[in-house]
Amino acid sequence: HESFEYKYALLPMGKQYASVIGGENFGITTACKAKDACVEFLKFMQSAKNNAQWCEIAGKLPVRRDAIDHAPFLSEDERYVVFTEQMNYAVARGPHPEWPIISEALYSALQAALIGAKTPEQAIKDAAAVINPILEVTPIAE
């Protein structure tokens, strides 16, 4: 509602700021008949300058810190200014081979807590019951 005043801010900080980045992927299938051309296209799309231009056209945010230097639109909007600062603390999602299972446990816990199906304490306890055994076998590399 237009009468509701709000501002943008970095995500809250515990010991350090943290954020995730990513969500889109480009790839080449094994059935591709023009792999070399696809590789060149991916290199083209993922250069800092072209990534910035694609993000502006597509309404996306860059996943490369160096793309920010080629994206003046990011400094023209208060929301994007906060995003560019948050990029200093962002890491890619899924730093684990079992990330799909870990991710589902986390998102399910968050959803259960948000809709009131579980208390936050119970939701995170249930997620930990799924995640901890995975991390005991294969810890996340530092």
Global pTM value: 0.61
Annotated domain spans of the chain: 19-92, 99-137
Structure tokens at 7: 């501002």
* Range in 78-82, 92-96, 128-132 the model is least confident about: 92-96
DSSP assignment of 2-27 equals TT------PPP-SSS--EEE------
The CB-side HSE value for 39 (13 A sphere, CA atoms) comes to 5
Digit-coded pLDDT (tens) for 11-50: 888 888 878 777 677 889 999 999 999 999 999 999 999 9
Could you say which DSSP state residue 140 is in? P
Digit-coded pLDDT (tens) for 59-82: 888 888 899 999 998 888 888 888
How high is the mean pLDDT of the chain?
90
- Listed residue (56, 61, 78) closest to 5, CA to CA: 78
pLDDT of residue 60: 87
Burial class (CB in 10 A: 0-12, 13-18, 19+), 50: middle
Neighbours of 131 (CB within 10 A): 19
Confidence tier at 142 by pLDDT (50, 70, 90):
low
Helix ranges (DSSP H) in the chain: 35-46, 48-58, 78-86, 99-114, 120-137
Higher pLDDT, 128 or 91: 128
